[in-house]
Amino acid sequence: MFILLITFSVPNIALSGIFRYLAIMRVSENVLKWAMRLYPPLLFQRIWVLRFDQNFRGVSVKVNKSLVNSNYNNSIFGGTIFAAADPFYPLLFHQILTHKGYRVRVWMKASEIQYLKPAWKDLFFSIAITDEVIADVEETLMRGEKYIKVHPITMFDKKGELCVEVRCEIYVRSLEFTETKTTVSI
């Protein structure tokens, strides 16, 4: 068995820090696609970004079934499926809003997964973010509030059969507004 050691000559930035930096900065669709393809937690689980849509309005992802992500049932391990769903809504919202000039903090606050049938073959899913959703996020942020809503992901096998449904609760907060505490003295 080989162990390949890759080192970067970037001072004070670990490998995971480089990927984190790429995820939070303003980048092109192609740069982020390749960063996510090579991001170790996705790469080693055989999660492959097929494409990011123009202006980050969507993403298409393939979860390849392989020896390294098969469970004792010979279907795709549930943790791999969950890992595939985890980063994409926050990345899309962050990139869309950053390209519009917002400074935001975005993450997946919670998620719920329903395994409807075993994933015997590769899984595919796409996420699309509509203009209405972006307008809702912008309105919420402009009021100084946090955007917290649930967005779905559905994963299908090669035959088009629904295998997995994920509900992702997304949190978006503007970094332009800070909460102030009001004190009252009597």
Instruction: Look at residue 183 in the predicted model and tell me its pLDDT.
Output: 58
Instruction: Look at residue 25 in the predicted model and tell me its pLDDT.
Output: 72
**Number of domains within the chain:** 1
Evaluate whether residue 2 is within a structural domain.
no
pTM of the model: 0.82
**Average pLDDT per consecutive 10 residues, the chain (186 residues; last block may be shorter):** 39 49 73 94 96 97 96 94 96 95 95 96 98 98 96 97 98 81 59
151 contacts 115 by C-beta, under 8 angstroms:
no
Evaluate whether residue 86 is within a structural domain.
yes
Evaluate whether residue 120 is within a structural domain.
yes
Instruction: Look at residue 144 in the predicted model and tell me its pLDDT.
Output: 94
Evaluate whether residue 9 is within a structural domain.
no
Evaluate whether residue 151 is within a structural domain.
yes
Instruction: Look at residue 160 in the predicted model and tell me its pLDDT.
Output: 96
Evaluate whether residue 29 is within a structural domain.
yes
Provide the residue range defining the domain that includes 102: 15-174
Q: Which CA distances in Å does 64 have to 7, 48, 130, 150?
A: 27, 7, 27, 26
Instruction: Look at residue 6 in the predicted model and tell me its pLDDT.
Output: 39
Residue 55's CATH number:
3.10.129.10
Evaluate whether residue 160 is within a structural domain.
yes
DSSP-assigned letters across all residues of the chain: ----------TT--HHHHHHHHHHS---HHHHHHHHHH-HHHHTTTEEEEEEPGGGSEEEEEE---GGGB-TTSSB-HHHHHHHHTTHHHHHHHHHHHHTT--EEEEEEEEEEEE-S---S-EEEEEE--HHHHHHHHHHHHTTPPEEEEEEEEEEETT--EEEEEEEEEEEEESS----------
Instruction: Look at residue 27 in the predicted model and tell me its pLDDT.
Output: 87
Tokens at residue 17, please? 């820090």
Evaluate whether residue 10 is within a structural domain.
no
Q: Pick from 50, 14, 44, 6: which is nearest to 30 by CA?
A: 50
